[in-house]
Structures are given as C-alpha cells and as structure tokens.
Chain A
C-alpha cells in the first residue's frame, strides 16, 4: 500500500458528538478505565463573555515525520511501517514513559493496569483491509477525515492556537479553516 497517510480536521464541521472517540475505543478494543484514550476530543474556549468562541479539536497520534517517541524509546519498541504509520509494540515496552515526555501531543499513554504504553495505530489493521481508520470512517459530518498525506498536506495549517509547534515533529495533521 502506498502512504504516508495523515489526518485532516475541520473544526467548523465538528458537532462534538465524540463518535470518533467511541469508534476508536470500540474497534481497537482499547481497555476502558485504565486512562488510555487513543483519540480524544477537547473543546478549547477563547475570549470572554459574551464575545466567546469555542474550537473543538479531535486529536490522536499524528504519526509524525520526525517521531520523537520512537527516537526517545530506549528499547526500540517503536517501529515505522513503510507507509509511515508509527506503531508501538507494547510487548517490548518497559514502561519508562520517555516517549510520553517527548511527544507534544500526549499520544503514547500509560495503561495503568499493564504499566506499558499504548498508542493510536491509525487503525493499520483496517487500512490493510482497505478500510479507513475507525474514527474517520464514522465521523458524521466529515470534520475528521483521513487520506494520503500528499493530498492533505496543502489543505490547511499544521497547528492552531494552543497547539505545540509542529516544526520539530512535523505531524501528519492539517486543520482546515483554523481560527
């Protein structure tokens, strides 16, 4: 399969329904109650009453071109597939948490029960079957989409207000019509 792939998010279309979060949990059987959420929707608030605005952001692992998580890992538990997807082999993880310290997006998370890190796989198993990642496939409004990075890269900006700088990691996400 070609690649790399990336995310495209349009906050204006997001209705904050959390389908992306729920579908991610369901498809990936992400355990609940152990503090691991591969994808999370957060609402950012700007301004003051009554001149207020909100921006919802659905975020997961951005499968960065320069994946600091992988570089930080002392036991080489991270692998990058040929299509650019950054995977974490939890069975090799020793739970040191370095990856979490280096990832500016909070993508690798400690499973409280297993004491190992876990992370979004971009639903690599679905992609291998010709399916979209669960989150993008279920998004009711098309606010979150997924596709070939070549075609996403120029469709928006790499960060919006409140995000870490994308310059080091070069995340594979773009925001359309960012405020």
Chain B
C-alpha cells in the first residue's frame, strides 16, 4: 500500500501534484489518508489498548522507536482516526517510571507512606514464590482465601483461575455496565454492544457523555447520525460536550433518570405509541399486558417532573417523538460515571424496555448484537480436564446477588466491607492486574483491607499505589508490546478483526498476563496446561491455532502482516432472543421468581441532600484520560495534570468561593481538599470532580501527588444495602454521594 502511493506520486509528476493538492484539501468529503512512508520507517498495524474501543492503529516505527501513531483507515471503530489518548500512546511505552523487572518487598510494614524497599528478583524466583504461596493458602484455607482482581483476563488466565477453583474473582464492571449486563440477559438475551447510531433517527441519552468521554466508535456514530438529521436528546446535570452537540439538553436532578424513563414508558404504553409489529411478534407485552399497563399507570410525566426537574410536557413530547420518529435508540454501554446510582439496575431495566418498545432491538438504528468472527478460546482448542466445583464464600457478598454471579461479575463497591467486616482474615492472597486503589469508592478503606492481606502480587506496567502494598510486583507489557486478535464489538454489523502485535519488542523483562498464567499454571495445575500431545501450552502456538480456526490465515505471523480482516455478510435481524421465553421480555418473570421487581419500579438514589450534606457529588472521566491509568503519560499529564472541584458560579457566589480557591468537600465517608473551578455548566446544587487523580506514590514521577482521589468522598457499600434497595444488578453507586462544600 505504501509503495503504491510513492510510485504514484513519482509517476504522476507535476500534473499529478495539483490533483494531489486538491485531495489534500480540507473538505472534506474524501479525507486524505496519509500513506507515504520514508524508506527508514516501518508501518505496523495494531490495535489500541487504552479503552475497549480498541481502535485500529498504524504505528510508524523508525530505528526501532515508535515515531507516530495514527488511525487505521478500514477499521470500523476508530474509522481511521485516534483520540487524544490513543495519539499519545507511545508515552505509555517509553514511560521512564515503568516496572522493568520483577521485584519483592523487603520492608514488612505496608502502607502508602512506607517505602516497600523493593529489590529486583528473577522471574523464576517471582513465579516460584507466588506458586508456593497460592499452593499453601489453597491447601490450608481453601480457594476462597485467594482473591483475583484481574482484567483484562485472557482465556488462559481464566483457565488458570478456574483450575484453582477460584471463587473470589472481582473486576470493575459493577462500576461500569454490570447492571446492564444482568438485566439485559433477561430482557433481550444478552448485552448488545453495538449501537447503530448511523441509521438512528432519535438518540436519547441518560447521563451519558457519549460523544467525548467514552469511545471513538460512539463519537463517530453519534456525529454521523447528527449529520444525517437525527435528533439527540440528553438528560445530564452538566452541560457537557454531548449537551453542546445535542438538539435538546435537560439538566436533570442527579439520580432521577429513572423517573423520566419510567414516565416515558408510561406515555408510550398509555398512548399505544410503541412499535406494534415488533412488540406483538417479538416481545411478551401481550402476555403481560394488564400487569404492564397497571404498573406504569402511576408513573406520569407530572410525577416525574417533581423528582427530576424535567418539565412534564417535555417528557411527554420526547416520549412521543422517541416512539414515533424512529428508528430510536437509548444507548447504555456503560453507566460508569454517568447515571450510576443505587437505582441504576431499575434504570437499566427501564432503558431496555424503551428500546424494546421502540422496536429497534437488533434492528437498523437500534442496539444490536455484534456480528463477530468467532475466535476459539483455549478451552475449544485444547479441551481442559473437568474444572473443580467452585466452592466457598464470596468476599464481596455477591453470593447474595445471584444474577450478578450468573454473569460471573462481582462488586468493587462492597469488596472492602467484605474483607474488613464480613470475613476479616479470609483473604490471604491477592493478585491484582492493572487495577489500582483509585478505582474503588473510599480507596483508603480498600487500602486498609489490602494491608491486611498476607501476600499480595501486583502486575502492572507502572508502580501504582497498589504496587506500594505488594509483596511481589510483576512488570507487564503495554498494549504496544502485546499480541492478540481484537474483534470489533461496538461497530460490528459485519464481522471485523484487527490484529494486536508488538510494534516494538517487549521492553525490559516485561511479560503478558497470559504468559504468567501459563507459567503459574505449569507450577500449580500442570494438567490444565498441556496440549493433547503432552507439551506445555505455548502462547505462540495458541495464537497460531486461533488464527487458523477463525479463518484469518495460516498463522499469526501471516495475519499480522495483513493486520485487518473484514467479512462481508448481510445483517439479518434476530427473530428469536436468548431469553428463557425466546422473546424480548418487558415483564421479566424470572425476576419475579427471585423476589425482584418484574417491572422497573421507582426507587430514589441512596444518598439524598440533607442539611449536613446539601449538595450532590458527581464525578466524571475527562476525555483525555482513561480511568486512573493514564495520568503519568507525559503528553496527557501535560494536557490535564490534576483535578479541581467544578462548582457553579451561582453556588460559589453564595458560599463565597473564588476561582482557584481551596475548598473542602466532605461526605459521611471522608473529605478532599482541592482548588475550585467555577463554571456555568453545572447545576447549582452539584459539585463535580474528575476521576483518576490523587495517585500517592512518588514512584509515578508525573502523576504522583497530583490532585485528589474523587473516591475519598464516595461511600463504599455493604451488600445488604444493595439487597434492600433492589439493586440486584449490583450497580456500583459511583455517583451516589452527597457532600458539604466549604471554602478554605
């Protein structure tokens, strides 16, 4: 491809240059894609690993150094482009603070203010030590004494955990899309990762800064829809980037998204505006019509207005437009740092119903199930011996949320409570991969819980706060040094796979989590890590086998030179759904059978403003950062080095707070002190703080000591609160906090 362009330039000569210039020109129907490469440069295709959009990358490497990262033209998700995080990706690779080799701690005292006294050890020693620890804790205290916080979890790692009979495997999904995952399993038979914005005419967003703070794939879709005349409506307490691009924006009261969604269902059902054909053929609406009509009769727009501050006539009109001016869609990829309140499981159900009533489930303009290339996992390639039964207590208490367990999820928000109060001393061993304390509500409580764990392993690219508490740290590769096959999921009406390949060799002694799984597996559960012919499973052979069986080529080496595979196939909408009844279930009898609400009911968020804590506390992910993992990247750090308390000017005036003045934000959980930033873009009863800052460790030379942890004022939870509140999807309540604000 690259030589073609150079040749063409050479052949075209002077006359060609003029036409080249016209193509260079902004315009821009046909954007010029740079494709020339200098002779000493090499271009490699890979996939970004910062967020799950995993946009395709063209990496220019010069003299073995990554020179530039740009988008891969044919990729469905990035569509030939990268966001700011992706463009700065080389900064992760060349971060001088990276963990370079395995280390063990020599200072037995653990804490964020303790120097761990790390000393370098060999991989051999690290793996042998970890394996010994796991072996002895498992034998003496059972598998329930092992805690694994790992994501991404490649299939060999999952095999390793299953072979050990690990019961306590927790990841962050409760703070993200877990309630969505739990609910939609029963409403439509799985989580539809795809949003067909391009063909949508009406995009309704609840607390979702879709355009900028999530995935490039989503931003492309929404903008394309806008350009084709779709209407975008947003309910959000902040006038954010999406609000600026939306046709209508309503500064909704935090936690009241559910009220508006219920009232919209009320209008659509009451006025019979739903998609008759879809609802009659593919849903259980008629079967439960009386229950449904009776149930939603109470949720009038007037009722919703009182809770949400969204005018009743607006709710009514939007409901009518949504139902009749479709195809319409309510995306809900993630509620992380969007509408993630105690009532978010109910909200997930209500939103799912809105999509069902619009008749766009797996239809053009709606939420669809990704059409992906089937890439066989390790269990399909090398069938394992039977796995042991998973037995033991869930330290995060989610055995009390059986539907959460069905999707093999857990709960970050209740983990510390379980470790400290419910089952003190139960967890002896913890293995962390990429997660940090900052990802938890009330991180100091999690810190305390982790300090009490006898032996902790942290695998990461960087020396995070969690690494400070580790007994052994393992250096991880970055995504730019990894190998994988990355199917498109967010934009996949037809299947597409992009390669992930090392654009430079892995630096220092860094390894992948998959390699660690196999090495630990050999030591602990060897019968699970042999091929049928008796050799050890090797990551390279496994990858080759995957490529072959997925029909991507004869070997990984072959596929990595191609880089991208697109399979053209027609999009055939589903007519049966993977629910127990085979239909889309508005009324979910399985919820009723478990004692949950079969239809979404109004519940307030957990924390309500009071005399002591009069303001809503909101948190957000800035567009330029990814969770708490990017703050040490030099370019991203320079663009946004720290966080501030965003406060409305009206409120600041009332409280006597000036721009830049230090303020103390206090909740029942704790307090943070940070400078105020005044803005007109936020409700005057709210304060908002960016997530991802407040790393304590000075081993992060840029991010360490910068900003505050937004989580320090967010309550962690006990599982009983979830059960009592009907939060059976285990939504992590990241936005559910109220605070006091005082100038300092």
Contacts and interface: CB of A to CB of B under 8 A. Distances in A.
Nearest to A30: B635
Contacts of B185: none
Scoring B20, B21, B71, B684 by chain A CB atoms within 10 A of each residue's CB, the highest score goes to B21
Nearest to B245: A12
Scoring A18, A45, A155 by chain B CB atoms within 10 A of each residue's CB, the highest score goes to A18
Contacts of B79: 140
Interface in A1-54: 1-2, 8, 12-13, 15-23, 25-27, 32-33, 37, 45, 47-50, 52-54
A81 interface: no
B34 A137 contact: yes
Contact of A142 (B25, B31, B638): B31
B27 to A, nearest CB: 7
B648 A32 contact: no
A19 B24 contact: no
Given A17-B84, A131-B36, A141-B219, A26 B680 contact: no
B561 interface: no
Nearest to A155: B26
Contact of B223 (A13, A130, A136): A13
A139 B245 contact: no
A8 B32 CA distance: 15
Nearest to A5: B24
B637 A32 contact: yes
Contacts of A145: 26-28
A139 B251 CA distance: 29
- Which 6 pairs across A and B sit closest by C-beta, in order of nearness? A145-B26, A18-B84, A147-B25, A140-B81, A147-B26, A22-B87
Contacts, number: 156
B216 interface: yes
B212 interface: yes
A129 interface: yes
B650 interface: yes
Interface in B597-640: 623-624, 634-639
B50 to A, nearest CB: 12
B1 to A, nearest CB: 14
Nearest to B220: A140
B649 A140 contact: no
A8 B27 CA distance: 9
B82 A138 contact: yes
A19 B81 contact: yes
Interface string B290-321: 00000000000000000000000000000000
Contacts of B88: 22, 25-26
Contacts of B649: 48-49
Given A17-B84, A19-B86, 16 more contacts: A1-B17, A15-B223, A17-B623, A18-B83, A26-B88, A27-B67, A32-B634, A49-B649, A49-B680, A52-B239, A138-B87, A140-B82, A142-B28, A145-B28, A147-B24, A148-B25
B638 A26 contact: no
Interface residues of B, number: 62
A45 to B, nearest CB: 6
Nearest to A25: B635
B32 A23 contact: no
Scoring B36, B71, B87, B634 by chain A CB atoms within 10 A of each residue's CB, the highest score goes to B87
A17 B21 contact: no
B68 A26 contact: yes
28 contacts: A1-B17, A12-B245, A15-B212, A15-B219, A15-B245, A16-B212, A17-B212, A19-B87, A23-B82, A25-B635, A26-B68, A26-B69, A45-B681, A49-B648, A49-B649, A49-B650, A52-B680, A53-B244, A54-B241, A54-B681, A126-B34, A131-B36, A134-B68, A137-B70, A139-B81, A142-B31, A147-B24, A148-B21
A56 B623 CA distance: 13
Dominant secondary structure at the A interface: mixed
Interface of B: 5, 9, 17-18, 20-22, 24-28, 31-32, 34, 36, 38, 67-71, 78-79, 81-88, 90-91, 211-212, 216, 219-220, 223, 239, 241, 244-245, 251, 623-624, 634-639, 648-650, 679-684
B82 A19 contact: yes
B200 to A, nearest CB: 18
Nearest to A50: B251
A153 B25 CA distance: 12
B219 to A, nearest CB: 5
B90 A147 contact: no
A22 B635 contact: yes
Nearest to A142: B28
A23 B70 contact: yes
Scoring A2, A23, A25, A130 by chain B CB atoms within 10 A of each residue's CB, the highest score goes to A130
Contacts of B637: 32
A2 B635 CA distance: 33
A151 interface: yes
Contacts of A13: 223
A50 B237 CA distance: 10
Contacts of B251: 50
Given A45-B679, A138-B71, A132 B21 contact: no
B25 A33 contact: no
B217 to A, nearest CB: 10
A22 B681 contact: no
Nearest to A150: B25
A22 B48 CA distance: 15
A87 B660 CA distance: 36
A22 B81 contact: no
Interface of A: 1-2, 8, 12-13, 15-23, 25-27, 32-33, 37, 45, 47-50, 52-54, 56, 126, 129-132, 134, 136-142, 145-148, 151-152, 155
B38 A8 contact: no
Given A12-B245, A48-B680, A53-B244, A146 B26 contact: yes
A26 B219 contact: no
Contact of B244 (A33, A54, A138): A54
Contact of B87 (A26, A49, A126): A26
B34 A131 contact: yes
Nearest to B682: A49
Contacts of A2: 17-18, 21
Contacts of A48: 649, 680
Contacts of B17: 1-2
Contacts of A130: 5, 9, 20, 24, 34, 36
Contacts of B83: 17-19, 140
Contacts of B636: 22
B635 A138 contact: no
Contact of B639 (A21, A131, A139, A146): A21
A98 B394 CA distance: 67
A170 B80 CA distance: 33
A126 B683 CA distance: 45
A57 to B, nearest CB: 13
A132 B24 contact: yes
A15 B251 CA distance: 20
Contacts of A148: 21-22, 24-25
A18 B634 contact: no
Contact of A140 (B5, B219, B635, B680): B219
Contact of A54 (B38, B69, B216, B239): B239
Contact of A136 (B26, B36, B219, B681): B26
A104 B637 CA distance: 26
A45 B244 CA distance: 11
A18 B24 contact: no
A5 B318 CA distance: 45
A131 B71 CA distance: 14
A15 B241 contact: yes
A33 B25 CA distance: 34
